[in-house]
Every structure is written in C-alpha cells, then in structure tokens.
C-alpha cells in the first residue's frame, strides 16, 4: 500500500489525485488529522485513517501495511516541525515501509537564512540515517507564494517589498506529479532516488520580473519598489502582521538576495517528460482570478 500524509493539503491533495490516476484506489492510503475531511477519498475506495505527526501512535496505525510512505513536511513552525517530521519517518520504518519519501526544498541547509530550510536539512539527515531507501524531493519554491503579495500590487500598482533575488518559482501541480511518479515507482523514479536535484521550473524570476508579469496580465504598469527590511517590517506590523511572522518572512527575502533560490534544474521536466508550468503563466493566472483585476484593469 502507498500511504500519503497531509492528503487534504495544497500539495498532498494533488499527489493523491496523481497517484490515483496511476494505481487502483484500494492500494492507496492517506493519513490525515481529521478523517471526515477526507471522506470524499474514502468514497472512492482510498483507505483513510487518522494520523497526527505529534501523536506517533496514531501514525503507526495510519501507516500499517504501507510499502511506501510519502511524508509531506509538517506545517509547524520552529523546532516542533523537525520532531514531527522525524516521528513520521520513524513510524514509517517501524511499520515496515520499504521506502520513505519526504517533501523537502531545493535550498535545504542548516545555514540558510530562511528558517524552514533548517527543518528540511535536519529531516533529510535523519531520513538518510534510518537505513531505508529514501527520496528527499527537493522541491522548487512554490509559485503560489507570489499570491500573498498580489493584493497591494493590483490595488495600488506598486509591488513594494524588501530587496530580493531570483526565485525558481515552481507549480504545485508539477511537483505533485513528480512526487506521484516517485511514490508509485514509475520508470523515471530512478532519477529521484536519494536526495534529488532541485525540482524546479526552468526560469528564474525576481520580484522586479514578477511586477512586470503582473502588469502585463493587468494591462497596466505595476512598479517594483524596494524598501529596507526595517521599513517593510514596520509597515507589515502596522497592517496587522505579527512581528514574528514579519521576521520569518524577511528571512525569505534575505535568503533570496543571497542567491539561495537562484537555481534552475532540468530534472523536473525530465521526470515529467513535458515542459514544466512556467512561472509567468502561473502568475498571470493568479492575477486573472484576483477580484481587483477586472475592476481596475
């Protein structure tokens, strides 16, 4: 049985659909905190069990009979995320899984300026030490992140952010398909053994380029304005963002301007056997869905 955690989340739900397109539903299990949310999967024949990364006993039941387990990185801040990920990996091993897969990040490093990369690096280290075949999917930076910054750009015509650098913006759909290929063990899964190369779309865009794409999609100019980290944080906190969240976000920009996300690799397109979704098309689609686009265009 193939077991997928986080199966109702933004990435996990897509992985489930890609897996179900490849194997019978009765060979697929999902581990979710609230089985009721995954009732639609149970109706399709998927085994749905409760599993919480902070309750290892629940994971052992959720992973029972699994030949392969995909651990979608825990959505927990701080040190708790590492402990949660490790608990899931250990539970998979204890349940006799033959391979454990983990959704990591292309910039995983204990020295990254963006804190989630510390979590990914520590999880990768543990995954490599458990003595099982493994796959650490080094996903490119999710292009959906851009959507957090679109509102002001659409409304004011200015994308005002701290200094940044190139990002390998990559679509959830493409990364989910790659994860499914690795989990099912398709022919191209051999390219994803161990710690994978960066799984990225082919084009790097900084936020100046993002502003251009947004402007093109809106049919009117959108300027890119760089402000200091301190000024951006002060404005963000004034708008209601907690100070800790502002500091967390600043780490993303510091890492970007240090070049941590400035890597594009052909592996994703090789595994998919097709072009990856471009960041430009993904961003244009986001703009088209934004409620302010039509009224101000």
pLDDT in tens, 267-288: 999 999 999 999 999 999 999 9
Mean pLDDT of 223-236: 97
Q: Are residues 44 and 117 in the same domain?
A: yes
How does DSSP classify residue 44?
Answer: T
> Which CATH number is 95's domain given?
3.40.50.720
Q: Are residues 110 and 150 in the same domain?
A: no
- Domain containing 129: what range? 2-139
Q: Are residues 8 and 130 in the same domain?
A: yes
Number of domains in the chain: 2
pLDDT in tens, 67-83: 999 999 988 777 789 99
- Are the C-beta atoms of residues 165 and 252 closer than 8 Å to each other? no
Q: Are residues 254 and 132 in the same domain?
A: no
The region, left, alpha or beta by phi > 0 then psi within -120 to 50, assigned to residue 34 is beta
Average pLDDT, the chain: 95
22 found inside a domain: yes
Percent helix, percent strand, percent coil in the chain, to nearest 5: 50, 15, 35
pLDDT in tens, 132-180: 999 999 999 999 999 999 888 898 999 999 999 999 999 999 999 999 9
Tokens representing 295 are 């009224």
Tokens representing 178 are 């790659």
Task: Look at residue 213 and tell me whether its pLDDT is greater than 80.
Answer: yes
Determine the pLDDT at residue 297: 42
CA distance 179 to 168: 18
- Are the C-beta atoms of residues 3 and 63 closer than 8 Å to each other? yes
> Which CATH number is 246's domain given?
3.90.25.10
- Are the C-beta atoms of residues 216 and 281 closer than 8 Å to each other? no
Q: Are residues 256 and 164 in the same domain?
A: yes
Determine the pLDDT at residue 294: 63
CA distance 51 to 184: 21
Task: Look at residue 295 and tell me whether its pLDDT is greater than 80.
Answer: no
CA distance 175 to 104: 11
Q: How confident is the model at residue 296 (pLDDT cuts 50, 70, 90)?
A: very low
182 found inside a domain: no
């Amino acid at each position: 049985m193939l077991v997928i955690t986080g199966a109702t989340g933004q990435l996990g739900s897509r992985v489930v659909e890609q897996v179900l397109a490849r194997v019978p539903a009765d060979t697929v299990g999902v581990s979710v905190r609230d089985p009721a949310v995954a009732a639609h999967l149970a109706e399709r024949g998927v085994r749905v069990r409760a599993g919480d990364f902070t309750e290892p006993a629940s994971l052992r039941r959720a992973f029972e009979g699994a030949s392969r387990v995909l651990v979608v990185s825990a959505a927990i801040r701080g040190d708790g995320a590492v402990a949660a990920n490790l608990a899931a990996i250990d539970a998979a091993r204890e349940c006799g899984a033959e391979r454990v897969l983990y959704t990591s990040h292309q910039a995983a490093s204990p020295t990254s300026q963006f804190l989630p990369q510390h979590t990914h690096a520590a999880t990768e280290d543990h995954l490599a030490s458990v003595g099982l075949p493994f796959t650490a999917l080094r996903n490119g930076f999710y292009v959906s992140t851009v959507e957090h910054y679109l509102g002001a750009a659409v409304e004011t015509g200015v994308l005002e952010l701290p200094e940044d650098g190139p990002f390998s913006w990559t679509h959830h759909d493409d990364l989910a398909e790659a994860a499914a290929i690795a989990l099912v063990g398709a022919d191209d899964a051999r390219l994803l053994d161990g710690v994978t190369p960066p799984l990225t779309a082919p084009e790097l865009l900084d936020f100046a380029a993002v502003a251009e794409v947004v402007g093109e999609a809106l049919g009117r100019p959108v300027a890119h304005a760089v402000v200091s980290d301190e000024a951006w944080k002060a404005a963000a906190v004034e708008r209601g963002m907690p100070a800790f969240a502002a500091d967390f976000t600043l780490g993303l920009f510091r890492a970007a301007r240090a070049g941590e996300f400035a890597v594009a690799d052909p592996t994703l397109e090789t595994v998919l056997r097709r072009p990856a979704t471009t960041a430009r098309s993904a961003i244009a689609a986001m703009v088209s869905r934004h409620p302010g686009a039509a009224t101000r265009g």
